[in-house]
Amino acid sequence: MSIKCPKCQFENTSDSKFCKECGTRIGLPEGQHVSKTMTLETPAQGLTRGMLFAGRYEIIEELGTGGMGSVYRAEDTKIRQEVALKLIRPEIASSRRTIERFRNEIKTARMIAHRNVCRMFDLGEEKGTYFITMEYVSGEDMKSFLRRAAPLSPGRAISIGKQICEGLAEAHRLEVTHRDLKPGNIMIDKEGNARIMDFGIARSIAEKGITGTGVMIGTPEYMSPEQAEGKEADQRSDIYSLGVILFEMVTCRLPFEGETALSIAHKHRYEPAPDPRTLNSQVPKDFAMLILRCLEKDKETRYQTVSEVQQDLEKIEQQIPSTDRATSTRRPFTSKEITVKFTPKKLLIPALALILIVAAAWIFLIRGRGNRKAASAPSGNSIAVLPFTDLSQEKDQAVYCEGIAQWILDSLSNVKSLQVLARYSSFQFTGQDDPRVVGKRLNADKILTGSLWKSGDRLRITVSMVDAATGIQDWSEPFEGETREAIFDIQDRIASTILSRLNVELSVDDRSRLEKRPTGNPEAYDLYLKGNYAAKRGSDKDVLRAVPFYLEAIREDPNFVLAHIALARCYRDLAIGYGVWPKEKSYNLTKEALEKVFALDNENGEAFAIRGDLKLYYESDPSAAELDYQRAFQLSPRNPGILKDHFRYLVTKGRMNEALSEAKILIEIDPLDPYGSWLSGLVYYFLRRYDDSIGAYRKALDLDPDFMSAQGWSVFAYLAQGQYEKARDMAKRFEHEVPDQYLFSMAVIEGSLGNREAAEKYKRSLDEYKASYQGAGFDIWEAAYSAVMGERDQMLAHLTRYIAENPPGTVNDLFYWHYFDKYRSDPEFIAVFKKAGFEMK
């Protein structure tokens, strides 16, 4: 009989006490027992989907199993929030001292509030089973990420390394050392950001007197030399582990490998780390030297703080080619932009299909406008507003930091004589970045940075403006207030000071808009900012989570226009963008929210744009929609969201050249956002300018190599040109991330090549994949596949069903898909689109 290691799954002999592969304790040490009661009451087969654990946590799925125990994704039914639930193995939880230390460490660890740290919540007990709850992060752990994507480019590795440093720096500031930093304890979320997990757990087990449980602390491949010797670990031990991770990111190898845990530990203690450049010649020398310094045997000669590591990473980043820098967050096919930037996780397949084919969800991806002259602003007076820095002791003011920076950006955007860079591009940088580099990347004349300090009700916001050409600070000024209500006065003074320093002349309309306070109620304002912060991650659940904040803000202040607009935006998105609400429910609630907005303020550009969306997509009144869009432009001439809304309208009307102008304006406003280039590529594709289309997609991918919308539409363009191998290579990029889109792409590639057997094989796999989903989201893929295979009647049936089940006006661009070229003059094909209100050109 063999015993499987719970950590590495290696099959050991029945008399083994330690795993021969990784050294993990398999059995319990002599003299230690787990009570029979505990064994019986711990779920023998684990937790299953739908089970309610501890009377509170509804199990969604198992995420994995490690040395500590099993981890589940669950919903906390009391607060309606997803959490990660980690069941602690009985042999670890059997010691009261261990549990007490767990409790104390978690109290400390949950003080760490940082965007690059997964929050710890609590330690609980249910019928003898101890468990830890923590923040659920949607994504994949770095271990699987590296297995799939390594070696990373230096720019990508540096970007992730900086994020790990930021999270560690905050933990070290609170005197919390991780002690088991490794790829398995770092999540890469759906936005491509690093999130460190499991602070405090290793220390809880490793305390003196606890190691008798036989649980091996730390992971041999990532241990510092002092840990390998059994000595106390400190923050420099985390820096050593970070060095191992950086080495692995750029080489796809570990610096030290061996047959046993003991042999690996010996190498950490005595063998020098190899130069990463011997395994990957593309690693810059300075970056290699940084990694090797992190891997110094003597902790006194390593970097002493992660802040030093981060500073050197930033310096190295500035020296590498700009095309290799990771300047934007990862974005899947299902990305949307509402007003704050949303980067959602993969949705259910029907919604994904809608988005992918530029149907219903394009409303959020493709907002646009038609009058270039009105959108332009004078050159020489452009400004970028960077995210504010939280200087508060607790580092818990992220909501305010982001909200105030966004408020300043929005306020300045209302001044027609001022060119303000959009949020996506501006928020790629921080106040620590070289302003000359920022200015050059964004084509900005001035860079606005700020910091926020809050203690009790006392608030101090310091705002600085830097000349982007010289990097010299023009001015810096603190703004202070003693009460929560002071935030409104402070914001007014900040805007007035900025405009005065820029010598901007305000029109009567400009002054009127700037003087409008969103609310005078600080409670309502707090709730509104929390709603924005909740929604920014962008999945349907995030938007649903934001709705109660906005509703509560409106209850606090029924005249709070911005909260009503945010609510209207959410209601609209939940049907057209995410497909999780019935269309009628979305339409009615959105319309009701807009009516309240217009009753309070009939000069809000975004409200007119949302109303235009309703008229275009639900009321089949494109002429009325156009009037609303044009009014929106008059009020907010350079709003990226309105631009993308109107882009969709122009494509629907077949006004491709105007749509192309819209995309170019978006690139000017938001130069680091790949959407502008992607939209240009779509227009070129519809115009049959395939070379230009592929070039535009390439520019989008230069900005964000993982921007799947550009990858997916590149397949379309390559196929239209007959470049089948390039189409195949591009499709393979998203094989594992979006398997359904991959299967569809491969089916039409093989079908276009005349390989019917291979095409049908991929099509069967796609049918199996979609079997668990309902709705018409797949019908458009079925229609395109049938068109390629020459199955006219099936194509028409799928098109008819798809168009019938989607809002009018969201499907007209399907007419331009190259798959349907040979049917474009077919009377029945034309009739299908006429029923949807499509105007033939």
If you write DSSP's letter for every residue of 506-561 in order, what string do you get? PPHHHHHHHH--S-S-HHHHHHHHHHHHHHTT-SHHHHHHHHHHHHHHHHH-TT-H
Q: Of 478, 503, 528, which closes a domain?
A: 503
More confident residue, 346 or 811: 811
Residues 780 and 798 sit within 8 Å (Cβ to Cβ):
yes
Please tell me the distance from the alpha carbon of residue 617 to that of residue 621, in angstroms, as a whole number.
8
Please indicate, yes or no, whether residues 80 and 168 belong to a single structural domain of this protein.
no
Please tell me the distance from the alpha carbon of residue 674 to that of residue 697, in angstroms, as a whole number.
9
Listing DSSP states for 748-813 in one string gives HHHHHTT-HHHHHHHHHHHHHHHTT--SSTTHHHHHHHHHHTT-HHHHHHHHHHHHHTS-TTSSGG
Please tell me the distance from the alpha carbon of residue 424 to that of residue 340, in angstroms, as a whole number.
9
Please tell me the distance from the alpha carbon of residue 676 to that of residue 644, in angstroms, as a whole number.
9
Please tell me the distance from the alpha carbon of residue 728 to that of residue 733, in angstroms, as a whole number.
9
Confidence (pLDDT) at 312:
94
Domains identified in the chain, total number? 4
Confidence (pLDDT) at 5:
65
Of the candidate ranges 619-623, 663-667, 780-784, the one whose mean pLDDT is the lowest: 619-623
For residue 749, what are the contacts with CB-CB under 8 A and spacing of at least 6?
715, 719, 724, 727, 728, 731
Mean pLDDT of 749-759: 93
Domain-located, residue 151? yes
The domain that contains 413 carries what CATH number? 3.40.50.10070
Mean pLDDT of 706-714: 86
Please indicate, yes or no, whether residues 296 and 420 belong to a single structural domain of this protein.
no
H or E stretch including 450?
Answer: strand 446-455
For residue 28, what are the contacts with CB-CB under 8 A and spacing of at least 6?
34, 91, 213, 214
Residues 325 and 258 sit within 8 Å (Cβ to Cβ):
no
Burial state string for 638-674 with b = 16 or more CB within 10 A and e = fewer than 16 = bbbbbbbbbbbbbbbbbebebbbbbbebbbbbbbbbb
pLDDT tens-place string over residues 237-275: 999 999 999 999 999 999 998 888 888 988 999 999 999
In SS3 terms, 622-643 reads as HHHHHHHHHHHHHHCCCCHHHH
* Tally of CB atoms within 10 A around 34: 16
For residue 23, what are the contacts with CB-CB under 8 A and spacing of at least 6?
216, 220, 260, 261, 262
More confident residue, 532 or 597: 597
In DSSP terms, which residues pair with 194 in a beta bridge?
A: 188
Domain-located, residue 692? yes
Within its chain, how far is the Cα of 474 from the centroid?
Answer: 34
Please tell me the distance from the alpha carbon of residue 472 to that of residue 495, in angstroms, as a whole number.
21
Look up residue 728 and give its amino acid.
R
Of the candidate ranges 49-63, 254-268, 283-297, 503-517, the one whose mean pLDDT is the lowest: 503-517
Please indicate, yes or no, whether residues 724 and 811 belong to a single structural domain of this protein.
yes
Query: What single-letter DSSP state applies at residue 230?
Result: T
186-189/194-196 β-pairing: antiparallel
Look up residue 162 and give its amino acid.
K
Does the pLDDT at position 474 exceed 90?
no
pLDDT tens-place string over residues 381-428: 788 888 888 887 777 788 778 888 888 887 787 776 778 887 777 777
pLDDT tens-place string over residues 10-22: 666 655 555 655 5
Please tell me the distance from the alpha carbon of residue 1 to that of residue 3, in angstroms, as a whole number.
7
Of all residues in the chain, the percent with pLDDT exceeding 90 is 25
* Tally of CB atoms within 10 A around 1: 5
Of the candidate ranges 180-184, 374-378, 576-580, the one whose mean pLDDT is the lowest: 374-378
Choose the most confident range, by mean pLDDT, from 161-170, 378-387, 629-638. Answer: 161-170
Mean pLDDT of 183-206: 75
Query: What single-letter DSSP state applies at residue 260?
Result: S
Look-up: residue for tokens 């909740």?
534
Residues 103 and 88 sit within 8 Å (Cβ to Cβ):
no
The domain that contains 121 carries what CATH number? 3.30.200.20
Please indicate, yes or no, whether residues 85 and 56 belong to a single structural domain of this protein.
yes
pLDDT tens-place string over residues 536-556: 766 677 888 889 999 999 999
Look-up: residue for tokens 């083994």?
16
The domain that contains 668 carries what CATH number? 1.25.40.10
Residues 367 and 641 sit within 8 Å (Cβ to Cβ):
yes
Does the pLDDT at position 276 exceed 90?
yes
Nearest Cα to Cα of residue 648 among 337, 421, 328, 333: 337
Look up residue 400 and give its amino acid.
Y
Query: Residue 384 class from Cβ within 10 Å (0-12 exposed, 13-18 middle, 19+ buried)?
Result: buried
Domain-located, residue 59? yes
Cα-Cα-Cα-Cα torsion 77, 78, 81, 84, nearest 10 degrees, comes to -70
Domain-located, residue 821? yes
The encoded tokens of residue 286 equal 């300075």
458-467/446-455 β-pairing: antiparallel
Please indicate, yes or no, whether residues 147 and 85 belong to a single structural domain of this protein.
no
Confidence (pLDDT) at 77:
83
Does the pLDDT at position 337 exceed 60?
no
Please tell me the distance from the alpha carbon of residue 216 to that of residue 180, in angstroms, as a whole number.
11
Please indicate, yes or no, whether residues 122 and 152 belong to a single structural domain of this protein.
no
Domain-located, residue 386? yes
Residues 213 and 226 sit within 8 Å (Cβ to Cβ):
no
* Tally of CB atoms within 10 A around 156: 20
More confident residue, 492 or 208: 492
Please indicate, yes or no, whether residues 40 and 172 belong to a single structural domain of this protein.
no
Query: Residue 50 class from Cβ within 10 Å (0-12 exposed, 13-18 middle, 19+ buried)?
Result: exposed
Q: Of 448, 473, 503, which closes a domain?
A: 503
Please tell me the distance from the alpha carbon of residue 394 to that of residue 715, in angstroms, as a whole number.
48
Please tell me the distance from the alpha carbon of residue 176 to that of residue 159, in angstroms, as a whole number.
23
Please tell me the distance from the alpha carbon of residue 830 to that of residue 833, in angstroms, as a whole number.
5
For residue 721, what are the contacts with CB-CB under 8 A and spacing of at least 6?
690, 691, 694
Please tell me the distance from the alpha carbon of residue 427 to that of residue 805, in angstroms, as a whole number.
38
More confident residue, 217 or 747: 747
For residue 601, what are the contacts with CB-CB under 8 A and spacing of at least 6?
516, 561, 607
pLDDT tens-place string over residues 284-299: 999 999 999 999 999 9
Query: Does the predicted model carry a pTM greater than 0.85?
Result: no
Confidence (pLDDT) at 158:
95
Please indicate, yes or no, whether residues 104 and 145 belong to a single structural domain of this protein.
no
Look-up: residue for tokens 């199996």?
768
Residues 752 and 720 sit within 8 Å (Cβ to Cβ):
no
For residue 287, what are the contacts with CB-CB under 8 A and spacing of at least 6?
154, 157, 158, 250, 276, 316
| Helix residue ranges, H only, 64-153 | 90-93, 96-109, 142-149
Please tell me the distance from the alpha carbon of residue 192 to that of residue 704, in angstroms, as a whole number.
11
Please indicate, yes or no, whether residues 268 and 390 belong to a single structural domain of this protein.
no
pLDDT band at 212 (very low <50, low <70, confident <90, very high): very low
Please tell me the distance from the alpha carbon of residue 433 to that of residue 450, in angstroms, as a whole number.
13
Of the candidate ranges 554-558, 649-653, 750-754, the one whose mean pLDDT is the lowest: 649-653
Please tell me the distance from the alpha carbon of residue 779 to that of residue 798, in angstroms, as a whole number.
5
Nearest Cα to Cα of residue 237 among 216, 217, 263: 217
Taking all residues of the chain, what is their mean pLDDT, rounded to a whole number? Answer: 78
Domain limits for position 246: 139-324
Look-up: residue for tokens 């609400």?
581
Confidence (pLDDT) at 336:
32
Please indicate, yes or no, whether residues 168 and 287 belong to a single structural domain of this protein.
yes
Confidence (pLDDT) at 8:
58
Nearest Cα to Cα of residue 298 among 226, 204, 202: 226
The domain that contains 239 carries what CATH number? 1.10.510.10
Q: Of 486, 503, 520, which closes a domain?
A: 503
H or E stretch including 436?
Answer: helix 435-442
As a residue count, the chain comes to: 841
Please indicate, yes or no, whether residues 156 and 216 belong to a single structural domain of this protein.
yes
H or E stretch including 827?
Answer: helix 827-835
Please indicate, yes or no, whether residues 778 and 669 belong to a single structural domain of this protein.
yes
Domain-located, residue 21? no
Residues 369 and 646 sit within 8 Å (Cβ to Cβ):
yes
H or E stretch including 690?
Answer: helix 690-703
Domain-located, residue 756? yes
Residues 394 and 113 sit within 8 Å (Cβ to Cβ):
yes
Please tell me the distance from the alpha carbon of residue 702 to that of residue 418, in angstroms, as a whole number.
29
Domain-located, residue 354? no
Give, rounded to a whole angstrom, the gap between the first and last alpha carbons of the chain: 75
